[in-house]
Structure formats: structure tokens, C-alpha cells
Structure 1
């Protein structure tokens, strides 16, 4: 798979309904789009291994216990505490090789195995730290893939929410803190993380690729194109930045004012 093949796959994923979104394959395509020199088969094999182990453990363990035991125990997946800012932590192929990464990258393997085994597991766009929500007979539970899939108690969720800056009246609302998101939103969050980190170190080429992947994954959202434009401007590619701003304006008239103002500023630099 080369970069063009990866973009085609992401374009197809973007056109899929949320229920048919190919999470693992789309995550692999994102990794290949970033670095096409690698073989993605190991990531596919790890996903298949997770499904196989989980199907066996579910015969004798609860869903939340089985998930944690498979992902952290059988597969050895966990959070990277020592090199947290490493770009490899947000890349599915690198996570496969290292068996550690960011919570949202690890969550891709949890979600893939759970889907194949019939569990109701969804991502939670928790502020500052990605979590998973699993439905059990006793009600929904929050799991932390970064911490070996352990259950996060409601009091801990509230504490984390307050630490992230949420107001007390919101931090006490577990229904809001544990609101599930689509698999598409999970992968978009991962690309958002890559974009933010790359932009912070002025790696604008990498930031552009991450923003472009978001645009392909969520083709009705104008915001990724604004980020593509910013990354291209950072590289001095002003004509490309203008093209991206035009795409943003076309997608959402609500973005027109901001996009037009930015476009005029870029055009003045171009002239």
C-alpha cells in the first residue's frame, strides 16, 4: 500500500456509515499514509489475535475482565509512561511493534476485538484522556486502555473532569462524561492529536498529512481544511493554503467569514 492507496481507503472509510466504519483498516491506512515504507500485516495480525483470545476468554470471564486480560495480558498493550510525547504512540503500526502508545491508539484494538465478539464497547471523548465505555448487566463502565484496561470508578471520572477544567456541575454528570462517540470520531481524535503535536514543534508537513486524513475521514466537516490551510501556510505553500480555504468555505457557509478573512490574508502574502 502506498500513500495514494491509503488516501483511497480513507476516502472510502469517510463515505461509510458509522455502523460500517472500518476502524482498524482505516487506522492502518492512516499509519501507511504517514510512512508508506512499512508492512501493515503485523497490525492486522494483532487485531486478529485480539479477537481470537477475547472469544475464548468471554466463555469464562466477564466482558470487562476479558477485555483487560486480553489486551494488557495476552497482547501486552499498555500506555507509554516514559516517552509519552513520541510520535510513535499515535501510530497503529508503531504501537503494534512497541505494544505501547496513547490511550486512543490502544483503544482501536479494544474496539476492533469487541466489535468482532459482539460486545457493546464505544469510545468516550473524555477531556484530556480517551476512555472506553462498555455496557454490562450492571450498567455502563468506563475502561482506561492506557492503564491496562482497568475500570475507572465514577468518583475518579469526576476528579479527572475537574482536573481537566470542567465545572463542578458538569463534572458530576456521568451521563455526559461517558457519552459514547462513533469509531470515526475515535480515529479523528487520534489524527487531531497528531496534528496538534506536529504543529507544536512546527513539523508542518506532518501536521498537513494529519489534517488531510481528518478531512478524508469526515468529508462533511470544514474544520480539517482550515488546519490543512494553516499547515500549508506554515510550509510557505500559499497557493495550496488558498485551495484548502476554498474547500472549507464550500463545505460550510458558517466557516465562510473566518475562511475568507484568512484567505485574504494569505492572498496578500502571495501577491
Structure 2
């Protein structure tokens, strides 16, 4: 698959309804968009194995135990503590081969297996760390894919929230801390991680690609195009930055002063 073909897949995913969003295939397309011409089959094989093993476990174990045991014990998926900042930890093809990754990347396989096996599982956009919410007969529980799918108790959720800077009033609200997000939002969270890392490393080409993926995955959000414009400007691609700002204005449907000011500044640099 080429980078252009990956963009076509992402654009199609962006047009899909949340209920039919193709999480795994979109995540594979994101990975290939960064590094084209790779074989996506390792990721697909891992996803199929996860579904088959989870389907066998369902019924004999609680939903959270079945999911955690399948992914962490049977398939050895876990967080990468030794090389946390390795770019491979955000790439689902590399994660499938290494069985290591960031929580948001590991969650792609958890969520795909849960969907196909009929479990109710959702991403949780927790501050600084992506978690999973699994519905059980006893109520929802939080799982941490980075830590072998272990359960995160409510008291620990509150402690983590306080450390992340949330106010005590919010940190005590489990309904807020465990609010589910869509699969689309879960994949966009992963692209946000990539963008932030690329900006810190001054890898503006990588930052641009991750922002383009966010724009394709959520075509109704103008903000990714602002990030595309910023990344292109850092590369000196001023005409491309102007184009991205124009797309942001078109998507937002507003003639925002901040967009106009940015476009005027870029035009002055071009002249």
C-alpha cells in the first residue's frame, strides 16, 4: 500500500458512521501512511488470533478477565517500559510484531477483539494515559492495556487524575473519569500522541503526516488542518501552509479572525 492509498482508506473511514468505523484497518492505514509498502498481515493475523481466543474464553470467565487474559497472557501484549519513546510503540504493524507498544496502540487490538466477540468495551481518554472501559455484570471496570490489562481500581483512577492536574471535584467523578469514547476518537488520540512527540523532536514532516491523518479521520474538525499548517510552516512550505489554513476555514464554516491573520502573515512571507 502506498501513502496515497493509505490516505484513501483513511478518507473512507472518516466518512463512516461511528457505529461502523473500521478501527483496525484505519489503524493499519495510519501506520502505512507513515512508512509505506509494508506488509499489514502481521497486524491482521494478531487481530484474528485475539478474536478467536477471546471467543473461546467468553462464557467461562468474566468479560474483563477474558479480555485481559487473552491479550496479555495468551498473546503477550504489554507496554514497552524500556523503550517508551520508540516510534514503533505507536505503529500497530510494529506493535503486532514486537508485542509491545503504548496503551493507545495496544487498545486497537483489545477493542477490535472485543467488538468481534460481542463484548462491550470502549476506549477511555484518560489524562496522560489511555485506558479501556469494559462492561461487566457487576458494572463497568477500567483496564490498563499497558500493564497487562490489569484492573485499575476507582481509588487509583482518582489518584491518577489528581496527579494529572484535575481538580478534586472532577477527580472524584468516576462517570467523568471513565466516560467512553468512540473508536474514531481512540485512533485520533493515538495520532495526537504522534503529533506531540514529533513536535518535541522537531520532526515537522512526521507532525504534518499525523495531523493530516487526524483531518482525514474526522473531516468535520477544522483543528487538524491548523496543525498541518503549523507543521508545514516550520518546514518552510508556506504555500502548503496557506492551503491547509484555507481548508481549516472551509471546514469550520467561519471566517475566523485568527485564521485570516495567519493567512495574511504567511502571504507576506511568500511575497
Taking structure 1 as the reference length, what is the TM-score of the superposition?
0.98
Residue 259 of structure 2 corresponds to residue 262 of structure 1: no
Q: CA deviation at 1:59?
A: 3.1
Q: CA deviation at 1:187?
A: 0.4
Q: Give the Cα–Cα distance (whole angstroms) in 1 for the partners of residues 229 and 77 of structure 2.
A: 36
Q: Give the Cα–Cα distance (whole angstroms) in 1 for the partners of residues 22 and 8 of structure 2.
A: 13
Identify unmatched segments of 5+ residues in structure 2.
none
Q: Which residue pairs with 2:176 in the alignment?
A: 176
Q: Per-residue CA shift, 1:32-88, capped at 9, x if unaligned?
A: 111113100110000000000000011311111111111011111000111111111
Q: CA deviation at 1:4?
A: 1.1
Q: Which residue pairs with 2:92 in the alignment?
A: 92
Q: Give the Cα–Cα distance (whole angstroms) in 2 for the partners of residues 62 and 228 of structure 1.
A: 44
Q: Per-residue CA shift, 1:157-200, capped at 9, x if unaligned?
A: 00000000000000000000000000000000000110110111
Q: Which residue pairs with 1:233 in the alignment?
A: 233
> Which ranges of 4 or more aligned residues in structure 1 deviate by more than 4 Å?
none
Q: CA RMSD in A?
A: 0.9
Helix, strand or coil at the partner of 2:256: helix
Q: CA deviation at 1:254?
A: 5.0
Is the 8 Å Cα contact of residues 222 and 255 (structure 1) preserved in structure 2?
no
Q: Give the Cα–Cα distance (whole angstroms) in 2 for the partners of residues 132 and 91 of structure 1.
A: 19
Q: Which residue pairs with 2:81 in the alignment?
A: 81
Q: Give the Cα–Cα distance (whole angstroms) in 1 for the partners of residues 255 and 19 of structure 2.
A: 28
Helix, strand or coil at the partner of 1:36: coil
Taking structure 2 as the reference length, what is the TM-score of the superposition?
0.98
Q: Which residue pairs with 2:220 in the alignment?
A: 220
What is the count of residue pairs matched by the alignment? 271
Helix, strand or coil at the partner of 2:83: coil
Helix, strand or coil at the partner of 1:71: helix
Is the 8 Å Cα contact of residues 28 and 93 (structure 1) preserved in structure 2?
yes
Q: Which residue pairs with 1:8 in the alignment?
A: 8
